[in-house]
Structure 1
Amino acid sequence: MEVLGIGLALLVLFVGFGVLIGILFGFFGMGGSFLVTPALIVMGYPTRVAVGSGLAFVFGTSVIGALRHRSLGQVDYKLAALMTVSVTAGIEAGKTVVLTLESMGLADTVISVAYVGLLGLVGAFVVYDSRGSSDDEDADAADDEESPGLFSGIRLPPMVSLMGAPSVSLWVILTVGLVVGVLAGFLGVGGGFLLMPAMMYGFGVPAAVAVGTDILQITISGGVGSFLYAQSGGVDLSIVAPLLAGSALGARIGTAATSLVDEDGIKIYFGLMLVGGAVAVAVRQVGNNYGLDVLNTVSLVIIVGSAVLVSGAVVYNSVRELRHRRVEQQQSSA
């Protein structure tokens, strides 16, 4: 009876966790492995099972999210294909750097410092940019125009037309994808938190399209990774199934929210999520350096807590916007 109770509690926990990550994934296009994998490790699952099950969950969630974003017309297939090729090549190069650092005994420290620095800088910049643009008096007038990205001025042919953005040089797209891939392979992450700002700020792609395109790219990479781990028995379906059941609902909520929350809102939530991740990794590294195991738990609490707060803010603002639109419709029909 006690075993049954524990099993039921785990089932409810995994379903609820799946809803939470599904909302974040559908809204930001970030894979859920950065939450699932450390949580499973803290719960006592072997690292191989934690990583493999996390990848399998990301693959299943990304399929749900990609289909939903496709129905909303928020996926640029050309950009997703080009990014997948270049990011994959970059990841292999990044792994080579990691192996070199491991042979020198510097991998853990260098990667953790780089991860905290990159997450913190990108998150702080996105928050700053979103707050600055929301205060711009001309922002509303510019919403309907294509906003040029940082690399739009490089007119090296052939040029690739992008959804909702100016055309960008093919070589620029491949180079950016390669750099993101190197960083992703070096840091051991999927690269979603790098690809989304790269497409928004580098190419001028609208935030909603950047999210949808990012999710499609993650679908491919997550599928390959989960297949490889499944071959070695690293995927536990008793974990993945309830997570996917919850994320099926969460991903639909998060994806729908991208069409309700304005672009600056998406950016600022994304930035806050990255800053929370940077703080969590920094706390974990301090714990590892000084042998304080309790800080590993504190790190997990920080990142899960920030995820709960951000996903709650996404849902709250979406519901508020829906109510606002209904009031406007009632007033216009009166």
Structure 2
Amino acid sequence: MEVLGVGIALLTMFVGFGLLIGILFGFFGMGGSFLVTPALIVMGYPTRVAVGSGLAFVFGTSIIGALRHRSLGQVDYTLAALMTVSVTAGIEVGKRGVFALESLGLADTVVSIAYIGLLGAVGAFILVDSRRKSNEESSDTADDQVGLFSRIRVPPMIDLTGGPSISVWVIFAVGLVVGVLAGFLGVGGGFLLMPAMMYGFGVPAAVAVGTDILQITISGGVGSLLYAQSGGVDLSIVVPLLAGSALGARIGAAATKLVDEDAITGYFAVMLLLGAVAVGVRQAGNYLGIEMLQVVSLVIIVGAALFVSGAVVTLSLRELRAVRTSTPQSNTD
């Protein structure tokens, strides 16, 4: 009876967590595995299962989003194809790295440390950039549109949808690095590819989201298949997460029509930073032998997702209320 109660509690928690991540995915276009994988590690699941299940979750959440953005014309198929090839190759390299570290008993520690550094760096970058934009009179500058990597003119070059021309070799290099990290950390690469395409390639945000989702649908599917063949995917985790995210993604997608993404970019950056803190707290708990820190770490991760998804829903309701309030006034004019 006690085992049944624990099972129901886990099922409910995974569905609820999936709901929160689905909201974030529908709004930001990122699969959420950067929260799922460290959460599973914090809960005590083996690194291989945490990474593989995270990739499987990415694959499931991305399919619907990819179809939606395709219908809106927000996908650069050439860029997605090039990124998919290089990211897939990188995933295989990252997977081999995880298995090698696992055989040495170092996978948990190394992956956790990598998460701390990566989430912290990306979160800090996005937070600083969002503050910079908020302090500028106009954020539509030439540097934002051109992209850092567009200055590398090594042929062959391709023209990007709504952006400048980019060297194919640069795209392959960026995709390979992201793929290695995706296979090593169990992430779809969305929170890495988005900044790379927007700031590095100069792709518009809408196109970056659509292209990113299409790419992680393919790479996430390949990555989860590779892990599943080695017993690294736990369907008892993935299925309830997907059940919750299916509803959450609809809420998040609807919110994109109401709330400006720039309005809560800072919240998203804070969520990444809290994810890094959570993994750090867990590692400190392991090192010091303090079990309570494991609970604190899990609370931080779930709290981060709840905080940002709550901000999305709250701002959406506020905008919706404002629209409904102004409608009668406009009819009387």
TM-score clears 0.5: yes
Pick the aligned partner of 2:295 from 297, 310, 327.
297
Shift of 1:327: 4.9
Residue of structure 1 equivalent to 2:244: 246
The residue aligned with 1:159 is 157
Note the C-alpha offset of 1:181. Answer: 2.3
1:163–1:331 Cα change, 3 Å? farther
| Residue of structure 1 in register with 2:116 after alignment | 116
Whether 2:137 is the aligned partner of 1:137: answer yes
Deviations 1:154-190 (A, max 9, x none): 2333322223322222222112112222333444433
Q: Which amino acid aligns with 2:293?
A: L
Aligned residue number for residue 67 of structure 1: 67
Q: CA deviation at 1:51?
A: 4.8
- 1:233 to partner: Cα distance: 5.8
One-letter identity of the residue aligned with 2:188:
G
Structure 1 residues 60 and 71, CA gap change in structure 2 (3 angstroms): same
For 1:110 and 1:52, how far apart are their aligned partners in 2?
Answer: 16
Change (3 A) 1:203 1:86: same
2:164 counterpart SS class: strand
Q: Report the equivalent of 2:83.
A: 83
Identify the range of structure 1 (24-33 vs 124-133) with the bigger mean alpha-carbon deviation: 24-33
In structure 1, what is the Cα distance between the partners aligned to 2:6 and 2:97?
42
Task: Return the letter of the residue paired with 1:127.
Answer: L
Distance (whole Å) between structure 1 residues aligned to residue 76 and residue 82 of structure 2: 10
Whether 1:308 aligns to 2:306 is yes
CA distance in 2, matches of 1:8, 1:295: 24
Deviation (angstroms), 1:276: 1.1
Alpha-carbon distance in 1 for matches of 2:101, 2:8: 43
**1:214-293 matches, cutoff 5 A:** 214-231=212-229, 235-265=233-263, 267-293=265-291
Mind listing any 5+ residue stretches in structure 1 that lack a counterpart?
none
Distance in 2, Cα, partners of 1:156 & 1:123: 30
Q: Is residue 14 of structure 1 aligned with residue 14 of structure 2? A: yes
Please tell me the root mean square deviation across aligned C-alpha atoms, in Å.
3.4
Name whichever of 36-45 and 164-173 sits farther off: 36-45
Deviates more, 1:3-12 or 1:296-305: 3-12
Whole-angstrom distance in 2 between the partners of 1:137 and 1:47: 46
| Structure 1 position 258, deviation (Å) | 3.2
- Tell me, yes or no, if the aligned pair for 1:131 and 1:264 is still in contact at 8 Å: no
SS in 1 for 2:166: strand
Q: What is the distance in 1 between the residues matched to 2:155 and 2:326?
A: 47
Distance 1:6 1:113 in 2: 30
Q: C-alpha displacement at 1:275, in angstroms?
A: 0.7
Structure-2 change in CA distance of 1:109 and 1:65 (3 Å): same
Aligned residue for 2:148, secondary structure, equals coil
What is the one-letter code of the residue matched to 1:28?
Answer: F
SS in 2 for 1:151: helix
Structure 1 residue 151, shift from structure 2 partner: 1.5
**Secondary structure, aligned partner of 1:168:** strand
| Distance across 2 between alignment mates of 1:257 and 1:145 | 29
2-side partners of 1:127 and 1:146: how far apart?
16
Distance, in Å, in 2 between the alignment partners of 1:59 and 1:52 is 11
Residue 168 of structure 1 pairs with residue 166 of structure 2 = yes
Partner SS for 1:307: helix
Q: Which moved more, 1:201-210 or 1:271-280?
A: 201-210
From the superposition, tell whether residues 170 and 314 of structure 1 become closer, same or farther in structure 2 (CA, over 3 Å): same
Give the counterpart letter for 2:205 in structure 1: A
Aligned AA (2:86): S
Distance 1:72 1:33, change over 3 A: same
Shift of 1:115: 2.7
CA shift, 1:221, in A, is 2.1
Q: Which amino acid aligns with 2:191?
A: F
C-alpha spacing 1:328/1:154, structure 2 compared with 1 (3 Å): farther
Secondary structure at the aligned position of 1:147 is classed as helix
Q: Which runs of 5+ in 2 are unaligned?
A: none
